[in-house]
């Protein structure tokens, strides 16, 4: 969770700067569902899916695959392959996100229709759709993997919303594509529930993310070996409709440089500037540099938010890194429960822990280096790329410190006092199993009026935090005393700020969520759904719309991971199987 390089070339950010960034970056989409950039009311929502406005610029402006056969193969000199979703037996809507539907201009009546289930499971195309799968490569666990591509993701096309925004609609699990290698292109309910809920949970937490419009069943069964241990079983098939301004990844650029296809690389970068970064100006060498700098900035912003809420992506390969700084591809993710920087939810990463929580900032930089290598042929200058990478580190460290100040309820990060205050706290949290989410939420209950003198009662200071500790016996007398000493330092620091307790608690509760999508909660929803009961999916979707609110009737979701979930599959470690 801490910054991974000690030097910080940019100085301290004030709390208000962090709040401005959150507002500008993550609330725009919500507001634009009603008003456009000029404050004018947007045009009327579509009465039917045929009324959606498609403008498939990606397939119109970029080179496509000239081979039409839908079979596993190497696709050369193309950004995408045209492909049709597979027809399924019995499309059935499980859930949809009403905010995403509103953003796209789709009414509730349309969402609840049979046609909606058919279209967003892949059984029917409406006017204007031009389905395709993207070609990209990637570094997986630090090694170049060659061509990867959308093996089971099929974009239906790009729509223009009632407010004039461009959104790509993409089905995950809708059938095979030329990039599937030896897989079937399908997805199962287990992983689809997790992706659907997490996409929306992250958005409402204020974390940059792709969105999820819908979750549907296919009416078919899919063979999956969940832990790759030779024991496959049939699971219900499902499809998630994902939504983003763009699904372009670092790997989209890497593949063309690796194959020495500079003309296609330039076409893709130019397209990206014109469509995803128009504010940077027309394509040019200088603007390629500005674009890479902006990608570095957006990536730093995203990682800081992951660290703020305790999110672990689990598979930070370069093909899972968005050029818009969006969290993309929800596979074996998880939230820290007991604070452990070395924790990863991914069984594939259990030994090396390359993508563990504490490594995420450095891995993001490593991935940016691979993107820099990919676009170097267009720039042919090392220095500006290196400067952008250094700015990533400086920006991340500045934002991380400001974020930690906000989590602690401080007006601003003061390096003279707060560097050691934060470092010592994070070391304390590792000495006994301490629930990260609960600890920071409960820390707001500590009164700044608590006596800071050494003789103050440790028990009284620690009392508000007791619900965060998993194993009370781990709180040894020595650790108890250390925790009390830290809390007295913290109270003195709060006193120097002079904020009223009510103001500080409001600030802390705005960035320290009460509710996150713990893996055991998602697994409970999956268990019910596999038996035909979707009620917990709907309940969690509603709960996670307001993760910072108290919601007293939902307190059962704001407790520590139960003991039964400590080692249960799906609740602790997960695989990429889906």
- Show which residues are catalytic: 319
- Both tokens of 441, joined, read 């939420």
Cβ neighbourhood burial of 291 (10 Å; 0-12, 13-18, 19+): buried
Helix axes 250-258, 360-379, angle to 10 degrees: 50
Please report which helix (H) or strand (E) contains residue 153, including its range: strand 153-160
- Both tokens of 193, joined, read 């529930």
Q: Find the DSSP H helices in 136-224.
A: 189-205
- Both tokens of 58, joined, read 């990606």
**Exposure string for 338-375, b = 16+ CB within 10 A, e = fewer:** bbbbebbbbbbbeeeebbbbbbbbebbbbbbebbbebb
Three-state SS for 303-350 is HHHHHHHCEECCCCCHHHEECCCCECCCCCCEECCECCCCCCCEHHHC
Reduced to 3 states (helix: H, G, I; strand: E, B; else coil), residue 177 is coil
Give dist(CA 570, CA 480) in Å, integer: 33
Scanning the structure block, which residue is given the tokens 């409001």? 506
Give dist(CA 165, CA 158) in Å, integer: 10
**Exposure string for 100-121, b = 16+ CB within 10 A, e = fewer:** bbbbbbbbeebbeeeebbbbbb
Give dist(CA 432, CA 413) in Å, integer: 26
- Both tokens of 357, joined, read 């929580």
Those residues with Cβ within 8 angstroms of residue 418's Cβ, 6 or more apart along the chain or in another chain = 401, 404, 405, 408, 410, 493
HSE, side-chain direction, 13 A CA sphere, residue 391: 16
Please provide the size of the chain in residues. 578
Give dist(CA 280, CA 503) in Å, integer: 39
HSE, side-chain direction, 13 A CA sphere, residue 455: 0
How does DSSP classify residue 135? -
HSE, side-chain direction, 13 A CA sphere, residue 324: 20
């Amino acid at each position: 969770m801490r910054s991974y390089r000690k030097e910080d070339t940019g100085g301290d950010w004030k709390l208000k700067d962090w709040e401005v960034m959150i507002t500008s970056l993550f609330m725009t989409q919500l507001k634009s569902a009603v008003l456009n950039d000029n404050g004018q009311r947007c045009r009327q929502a579509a009465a039917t899916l045929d009324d959606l406005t498609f403008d498939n610029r990606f397939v119109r402006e970029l080179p496509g695959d000239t081979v039409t056969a839908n079979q596993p193969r190497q696709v050369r000199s193309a950004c995408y392959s045209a492909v049709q979703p597979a027809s399924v037996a019995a499309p059935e809507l499980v859930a949809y996100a009403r905010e995403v539907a509103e953003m796209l201009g789709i009414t509730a009546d349309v969402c609840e229709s049979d046609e909606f289930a058919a279209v967003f499971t892949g059984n029917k195309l409406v006017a204007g759709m031009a389905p395709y799968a993207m070609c990209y490569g990637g570094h997986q666990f630090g090694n170049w993997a060659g061509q990867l591509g959308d093996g089971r993701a099929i974009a239906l096309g790009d729509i223009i919303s009632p407010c004039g925004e461009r959104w790509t609609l993409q089905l995950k699990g809708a059938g095979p594509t030329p990039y599937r290698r030896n897989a079937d292109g399908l997805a199962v309910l287990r992983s689809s529930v997790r992706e659907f809920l997490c996409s929306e949970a992250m958005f409402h937490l204020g974390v940059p993310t792709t969105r999820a419009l819908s979750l549907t069943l296919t009416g078919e069964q899919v063979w999956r070996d969940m832990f790759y241990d030779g024991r496959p079983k049939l699971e219900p098939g499902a499809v998630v409709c994902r939504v983003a301004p763009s699904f372009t990844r670092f790997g989209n650029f890497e593949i063309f440089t690796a194959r020495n296809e500079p003309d296609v690389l330039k076409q893709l970068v130019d397209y990206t500037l014109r469509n995803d970064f128009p504010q940077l100006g027309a394509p040019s060498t200088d603007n390629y540099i500005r674009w890479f700098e902006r990608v570095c900035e957006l990536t730093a912003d995203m990682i800081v938010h992951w660290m703020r809420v305790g999110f672990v992506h689990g598979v930070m390969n370069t093909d899972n890194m968005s050029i818009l700084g969006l969290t993309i591809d929800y596979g074996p993710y998880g939230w820290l429960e007991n604070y452990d920087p070395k924790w990863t939810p991914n069984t594939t990463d259990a030994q090396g822990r390359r993508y563990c929580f504490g490594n995420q900032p450095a891995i993001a930089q490593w991935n940016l280096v691979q993107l820099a290598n990919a676009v170097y042929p267009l720039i042919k200058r090392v220095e500006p790329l290196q400067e952008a990478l250094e700015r990533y580190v400086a920006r991340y460290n500045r934002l991380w410190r400001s974020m930690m100040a906000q989590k602690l309820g401080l007006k601003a990060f003061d390096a003279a006092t707060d560097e050691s205050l934060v470092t010592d706290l994070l070391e304390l949290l590792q000495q006994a199993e301490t629930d990260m989410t609960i600890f920071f939420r409960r820390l707001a209950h500590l009164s700044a009026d608590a006596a800071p003198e050494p003789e103050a009662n440790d028990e009284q200071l620690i009392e508000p935090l007791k619900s965060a500790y998993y194993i009370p016996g781990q709180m040894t007398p020595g650790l108890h005393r250390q925790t009390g000493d830290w809390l007295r330092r913290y109270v003195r620091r709060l006193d120097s700020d002079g904020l009223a307790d009510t103001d500080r608690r409001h600030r802390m509760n705005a960035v320290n969520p009460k509710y996150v999508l713990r893996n055991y909660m998602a697994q409970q929803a999956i268990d019910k759904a596999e038996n035909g009961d979707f009620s917990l999916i709907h309940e969690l979707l509603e709960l996670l719309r307001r993760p910072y609110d108290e919601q007293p009737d939902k307190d059962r979701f704001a407790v520590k991971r139960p003991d039964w979930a400590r080692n249960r599959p799906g609740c602790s470690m997960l695989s990429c199987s889906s």
